[in-house]
Structure 1
Amino acid sequence: MDINNIIIENIDNPHELERRFRKEPEAFVKSFSYAWEQNPDSQVLAVWYERLHFKETANNEKVFLLQKDFLSMGILAILAGISTRIILHFVELQAIAPVNLVFGVLPFIAVYFVFNNTPKKNILYILASLFLISVFYLNMLPLEQKDSIILAYLHLPIFLWTLLGLAFTGNEYGIGSARLAYLKFNGEFCILYASMAISGMLLAALTMQLFGFIGMDIEEFYFKNVVLFGAAALAIVAAYLVTRNLKLAKNIAPYIAKIFSPLVLATLLVYMIMVIWVGKNPFLDRDFLLSFNGILLSVLAVTIFSIAESGTDEKKSISDYINFALIVLVLIIDSVALSAIVFRLSSYGITPNRLAVLGVNILIWANLIWIMLSYMRFLQNKTGPSTIQDATTKYLPVYGLWAAFVTFTFPLIF
């Protein structure tokens, strides 16, 4: 008996049809058309028809979406490279500030996010207007080396980073899991971008060396027209690969977080002991205070990255205790730095730099307190890991608001 007759004869036997399909799926699919033509009114075969053809439709839609995403990524990558090269030209002419180079990359990543996860119109209007306002405002500032203007240059990328987060989360900007996904995206993006950038640097070194063998010095031309273009375009490519769930970055990121946290904790402990040993005083030494704040920001970034990659596992691990110890140590550092800044303000008066550093230290101090208390409750089995993630993600807009305040008001006030 051929399989055509088997399908028809077992039309009222779902178990046998399923068994035949699993045993000989290709033959079953090829012979199904005949059975369907002979029994067009059969509800059983109608279900099988939808089952078999729905898979084909779903796969076609998936391929189409991948092609659509890939095409949009390619166009945006090229536009980012061209824009960055044009901006560099005006920077070299000293017509605009170097910080404008961020507008050669970040807006295009934002467009990619919006294109693939279309938000409501009001979010689109907010993103477009704030990016445009930032561009015009930045280039209205005089090209001077004033402290307030330099602070605006330093805080603008942070503000744009929060706008990028709005583009990433879209309509789910208020949901903690969406913000956590954005933090994870940043960690995986940095890992992937660094990996590809190292390969690009090796290619650049090889290319310049090869041309050097024939007496041609192409270093300046190659940097301006190839390396810079590639660096900007690579950011869009990396964003595309991360959002397409590339396994490389997603598999490596948690391990890097687990490795870095204990290393940073050990390094920080040794550093603090040596600071006390040699008698360094952040209250009197301005440069040491600045380095102290640099360490604080770096360790905070590592801690947030580690929390983001820790997942939602209710079971506690050694990583949780390491993260908690790291948070406590960073909180101690921030408290010392905060005391030193208040001391310098009361002793030497208010300056834009001191006020900006004071503000960011207060924000970090409050955030660390929140995270530490959440971690304590989690380690005491009073709450789940979601409270730690909420303490991390819900505070992100506060940093963006402070960055916006410094960027848009300090040059006017000072």
Structure 2
Amino acid sequence: MNVNNRVLEQLHNPRELEQMFRADPEAFRQSFAHAWEHNPDSQVLAVWNERLHYKEPEAAKKATLFQRNFVSMGILAILAGICTRLILFFANRGDITMMNIAFGVLPFIAAYFAVNNGANKRMIYTLASIFALAIVLLNLLPQKETDSIVLAYLHLPIFLWVIVGLAYTGNEYRIGRARLAYLKFNGEFAILYACMAISGMLLTGITMRLFELVDLDISEFYFTNIVAFGAAALSVVAAYLVSKNLKLAKNIAPYIARIFSPLVLVTLAAYLVTVAWVGKSPFSDRDFLLSFNGILLGVLAVTIFSITERGTDERKNITDYVNAALIALALIIDSVALSAIVFRLSSYGVTANRLAVLGINVLIWANLIWIMSAYVRMLRNQTGPSTVQDAVTKYLPIYGLWAAFVAVAFPLMF
């Protein structure tokens, strides 16, 4: 039986037709042409004909171009590049802290989302006020590398990242689906930005070499101006491309999640066994405790990335068991870290660093318990994947509030 007959044979089997199309689109198109020629009255084939040959009217294409805010993206990308270059100029002079670099990128990405999502005036005023207050707060802090100031520097960008999420979700910030989309955006943004950055590095290498051939050293000028400008502008461009459903990032992200999750699980299990074997203890070694917490954050990030890339309509699969195992190991790590932090607090007293690490570990521990509970129920077929995703998305504002508390209160407390 030839392929042409297969299309006709599966005429009333939509799932099989879809599988044939996905398996080999070009062969399906050729087969379809024969089937459509001999069955012009078929409603099923009429739908497929529109799907395979639909073309937007020229006027609609032009309208779509402006609806996608291409012009606003370009303007914001240029402004981000200029602002970043100015911040670097004043930071290198010692007038402001280098941490202001966050304001060369994040406000412009937030502005793009606010425009793109049609945020209402209240949302726009809220976003503008928060960023303005954050700029004032950061630059009121003394430029001293005390523990509390460094903690403020580290936590303020986290808070601003959550605020960018507020801009991304727009008027739907209360809806879990919108928060999940923002988390997915971050994974896809990282993949796309990395790909574009690699291309930028290749361009930089070629440019440096070309000018070297004519005995001109432009490295200082190029890196100070072009690279800094481009890196900031590229972030807005990447945000635009991801938000417009660029297939490169969206197609590769789920596969990266599925590949890296089991690799991280095996590596982490081997690491924990090795730590127990050599007798390394986070109770007595401060640096090891910090690295332990770094591993915890990394595992949490990988797991959340894998959860967000999972479709809500997907059936239960091996990835879910891998993620559940990762969460269980992360709980073990966090419990050990919490015990070590409490031990150090009781033995050596309260400091800004210890209190900050204690706070974030308590928050992560509670979040992991919630996610693990949701996973257990899902694996027992008591709930669906959305329960696990809710455990991630509903907790997101709590991290933002903690980051804001550390950035504002710790410099005053310590």
Q: What TM-score, normalized by structure 2, do the two folds share?
A: 0.86
Deviation digits for residues 256-275 of structure 1 (CA, Å, limit 9, x no counterpart) = 00001000001101111111
Q: Is this contact kept in 2: 1:314–1:384, CA < 8 A?
A: no
Q: How does 1:256-405 map to 2 (within 5 A)?
A: 256-405=256-405
Shift of 1:120: 2.4
Per the alignment, residue 191 of structure 1 pairs with 191
Q: Report SS of the residue matched to 2:230.
A: helix
The alignment status of 1:220 with 2:220, answered yes or no, reads yes
Distance 2:340 2:353 in 1: 14
The more displaced of 265-274 and 56-65 is 56-65
Shift of 1:18: 11
**Aligned-residue identity in percent:** 68
Q: How does 1:97-246 map to 2 (within 5 A)?
A: 97-246=97-246
Distance 1:161 1:271 in 2: 31
Shift of 1:171: 0.7
Shift of 1:314: 4.9
Per the alignment, residue 249 of structure 1 pairs with 249
Residue 307 of structure 1 aligns to which amino acid in structure 2?
Answer: I
Deviation digits for residues 265-321 of structure 1 (CA, Å, limit 9, x no counterpart) = 011011111111111110000000001111111111111000000110251000000
The alignment status of 1:413 with 2:413, answered yes or no, reads yes
Select which of 65, 68, 75 maps to 2:67.
65
Q: CA RMSD in A?
A: 2.0
The more displaced of 202-211 and 377-386 is 202-211
Shift of 1:59: 4.4
Q: Report SS of the residue matched to 2:383.
A: coil
**Change over 3 Å in CA distance of 1:212–1:396 after alignment to 2:** same
Deviation digits for residues 12-59 of structure 1 (CA, Å, limit 9, x no counterpart) = xxxx9999xx8xx9xxxxxxxxxxxxxxxxxxxxxxxxxx9x967644
Distance 2:321 2:41 in 1: 55
Residue 62 of structure 1 aligns to which amino acid in structure 2?
Answer: T
Residue 245 of structure 1 aligns to which amino acid in structure 2?
Answer: N
Residue 81 of structure 2 aligns to which amino acid in structure 1?
Answer: G
Deviation digits for residues 143-169 of structure 1 (CA, Å, limit 9, x no counterpart) = 001100000000011000000000000
Q: Is this contact kept in 2: 1:155–1:404, CA < 8 A?
A: yes
Distance 2:63 2:85 in 1: 36
Distance 1:308 1:365 in 2: 19
Deviation digits for residues 358-400 of structure 1 (CA, Å, limit 9, x no counterpart) = 0000000000000000000000000011110100000000000
Q: Report SS of the residue matched to 2:115.
A: helix
Residue 237 of structure 2 aligns to which amino acid in structure 1?
Answer: V
Residue 221 of structure 1 aligns to which amino acid in structure 2?
Answer: F
Distance 2:64 2:71 in 1: 14
Unmatched tracts of structure 1, length 5 or more: 1-15, 26-51
Unmatched tracts of structure 2, length 5 or more: 1-39
Residue 208 of structure 1 aligns to which amino acid in structure 2?
Answer: M
Per the alignment, residue 31 of structure 1 pairs with none
Residue 275 of structure 1 aligns to which amino acid in structure 2?
Answer: V
Q: Report SS of the residue matched to 1:142.
A: coil
Residue 127 of structure 2 aligns to which amino acid in structure 1?
Answer: L
Distance 1:60 1:223 in 2: 37
Shift of 1:125: 1.7
Give the length in aligned residue pairs: 367
Distance 2:155 2:65 in 1: 41
Residue 78 of structure 2 aligns to which amino acid in structure 1?
Answer: I
Residue 158 of structure 1 aligns to which amino acid in structure 2?
Answer: I
